Chains A and B, each alone.
Chain A
Amino acid sequence: MTMQTPTKPAKKPVGPIRGFFKGISSLLKGMGVTFKYFVHPSTVVTQQYPENRETLKMPDRARIRLSMPHDENGYHKCTGCHICEDACPNRSITVVDRKNATTKRQEIDHFIWRMDSCTFCNLCVVVCPFTALKMHGDFENSVYDRRLLIYNLNRYAGPAAPALAKIEDPEERKRNIDERGVYSGLIPMNGSAIAGVRACGKPPESEKVRVTEDDIKGESP
């Protein structure tokens, strides 16, 4: 079940004049292919980015950016169980949990995702038992400082959506929640503060930056 590559049977060598014309014809045939595309501009496949930004759609499963989807009430499903942190091959995810003030149960405080070291292997999304994480195709992620690639994915610190749904009093629900911005809290990198971060992240007014003197000295989260 094997085959030899197509080799032409040994013919007597082509003379110089015939060889010359055969060579010329082979070149013209090749030119014909390119000429065909030259006169058929409809075959052009080049994408006109950024002109086509409006219509450019990435596939549903595109693994370009990790996100934590929040429902219409603004609640996420993360419980701070650290499973994604263990599954991450290179520690791009750091989960900082806290104890709830009233129920004393574990809940998420900061979900820190380092895009600069992420390999987009999708293991965190696959292993999450609560489907709290999702990869999406938002590919325009350029920033001017590497440290801006370290994100806080949760919009609030507090119980996950199912636990919050059980609390009926809206005032009580609000007391359980502390808002978190994209760049707020223990990040940026190794706790060092960075100019302009707050303006980029647009965190709510109520939130206080938790970077302290000790953090700046090099205590990593």
Chain B
Amino acid sequence: MTIAIRTLEDLTRPSATPDSPLATQEYFVNMGPQHPSTHGVLKLLLKLDGETVREVIPVLGYVHRGMEKVGEHLGYRQFVHMSDRMDYLSALMNNWAVSRAVETAMKIETNERIETIRTIMAELQRIQSHQLWWGVFGMDLGAFTPFLYGFRDREHVTDILEKTTGARLTMNYIQPGGLMFDLHPDFQKEVKEFIAYFRPKLKEYETLFSENVIVHKRVKGVGVLDAKTAISIGTTGPVLRASGVDYDLRKREPYGMYSKVKFEVALGTTGDTWDRYQVRIEEMKQSLSIIEQLIDNIPEGKTMLMKPGAKIKPPEGISYSHMETARGVLGIMLVSDGKDHRPYRIHLRTPNYNNIWSITHTAPGWRIADLVAILSSLDIVVPDMDR
């Protein structure tokens, strides 16, 4: 397979095949970085012909905080709280990925209680993240009601998580060697209540939004990402699975308690915006079933295996851990020189950074309103891209 490398100069040339009979001229528009539909400070440089998108050039880096470099100056335990601020909608999963990399380096074996709680927390967070995405997806298509409904139901999960972790967004709960706190006594009861509450609400989502004829017209067949392109640009998560590629790390390389629970990987067929929508709705249902299987079977045990004040100094070497967050594969590489309690080098492989480039393949040919729908279906979080 050959990869065509296009320079910025290539992109600025007029397109070969103007589809309008009028003598129109192509022009450039900056969409963002201050635009409500770009979900943060993402800039899209659009080459437009009328309202038809010819080229999309994502311009990243507006919230670059140099996390990899900052991490070299923080201890391993301190870096966990930085990972909250990458993909803030999957904060617990990011915490877990860092903790797992540190545990691999330190050769710490966690017990079943810790792993079960981590898995439940990660799935709750996945539901929470997809609820927010569902609301925002509706709003990007011009429907404001889903936004309110999504946030209303998200509040239930947030309250459960807040009661145990103490924070609503940047939890910093999963630590190397265990968990910051034990579960709140009400946790199991509240999660069961939430599952009973949310199942009917998912049906309501379908009636309100998924079966709406306007939604069908807006998303079906729009922004098709074929499997080959999806793999070649390294997309992961629901974006890749919507294209029909069966790649889910929870199944491929089971971590936590995923090898002991039954769940199915939702797959799309064509890779259009509608498939990406359906995959996420199905993932919420699967997450509910995973939580249901685990919530009554939390074994007893310690929740923290290391002294909280102890400095972590792994032996010389490289440790890598990757994990399926709500948006795709998050990979964390930690290099230790064995001399310091701080990592020598950190490398982060964040899912959104790869997923965003799929719009350069899917959006051309569609209108600006469709571009917004396609972009929203990728479920991007900009601080995760720029990190």
Contact = CB atoms under 8 A, between A and B. Distances in A.
Contact of B170 (A27, A33, A120): A120
Given A1-B265, A89-B78, A127-B309, A29 B184 contact: no
A89 B309 contact: no
Nearest to A44: B152
B81 A119 contact: yes
Interface in A81-130: 83, 87, 89, 119-123, 126-127, 129
Contact count band on B = 35 or more
A33 B204 contact: yes
A113 to B, nearest CB: 16
Contacts of B82: 89
A127 B308 contact: yes
A26 B269 CA distance: 24
Given A5-B268, A30-B207, A135 B166 contact: yes
Interface in B148-200: 152, 155, 162-167, 170, 172, 180-181, 184
A120 B269 contact: no
B4 to A, nearest CB: 31
A6 interface: yes
B100 interface: no
B145 interface: yes
A63 B164 CA distance: 11
A29 B207 CA distance: 6
B162 A129 contact: no
A61 interface: yes
Contacts of A142: none
B166 A61 contact: yes
A59 B211 contact: no
B264 interface: yes
A3 B164 CA distance: 34
Contacts of A29: 207, 211
B184 A3 contact: no
A209 B269 CA distance: 71
A1 B81 CA distance: 35
Contact of B209 (A30, A89, A122): A30
B123 to A, nearest CB: 17
Contact of A33 (B75, B208, B251, B309): B208
A218 interface: no
A195 interface: no
A141 interface: no
A30 to B, nearest CB: 5
A73 to B, nearest CB: 28
Interface string A25-53: 01101101110000000000100000000
B207 A32 contact: yes
B213 A23 contact: yes
Given A59-B163, A120-B167, A122-B180, A26 B267 contact: no
Contact of A63 (B77, B166, B208): B166
A87 B75 CA distance: 9
Contacts of B180: 122, 126
A32 B242 CA distance: 30
A7 interface: yes
A27 B266 contact: no
Contacts of B269: 4-5, 7
B297 interface: no
B259 to A, nearest CB: 12
Contacts of B275: 5
A180 B155 CA distance: 40
Contact of B211 (A30, A63, A127, A129): A30
A27 B208 CA distance: 8
Nearest to B155: A45
A202 interface: no
B246 interface: yes
Contacts of B81: 89, 119, 121, 123
A206 interface: no
A94 to B, nearest CB: 17
A179 to B, nearest CB: 30
A56 interface: no
Interface in B232-288: 242, 246, 251, 262-269, 275, 278-279, 282
Contact of A129 (B212, B242, B309): B309
B211 A5 contact: no
Given A89-B82, A122-B180, A59 B162 contact: yes
B108 interface: no
A34 B162 contact: no
Given A3-B267, A120-B167, A83 B309 contact: yes
Contacts of B266: 3, 5
Nearest to A121: B81
Contact of A62 (B166, B242, B282): B166
Can you list the 6 inter-chain pairs with the closest CB atoms, starting with the nearest?
A23-B213, A61-B166, A121-B81, A5-B278, A89-B78, A127-B309
20 contacts: A1-B264, A3-B267, A3-B282, A5-B275, A5-B279, A7-B278, A26-B211, A29-B211, A33-B208, A34-B208, A61-B162, A87-B77, A87-B78, A89-B75, A89-B78, A119-B81, A119-B170, A122-B172, A127-B308, A129-B309
Interface of B: 74-75, 77-78, 81-82, 145, 152, 155, 162-167, 170, 172, 180-181, 184, 204, 207-209, 211-214, 242, 246, 251, 262-269, 275, 278-279, 282, 308-309
Given A33-B208, A45-B155, A59-B184, 11 more contacts: A1-B251, A1-B265, A7-B278, A26-B211, A27-B212, A34-B208, A87-B78, A89-B75, A119-B170, A122-B172, A123-B308
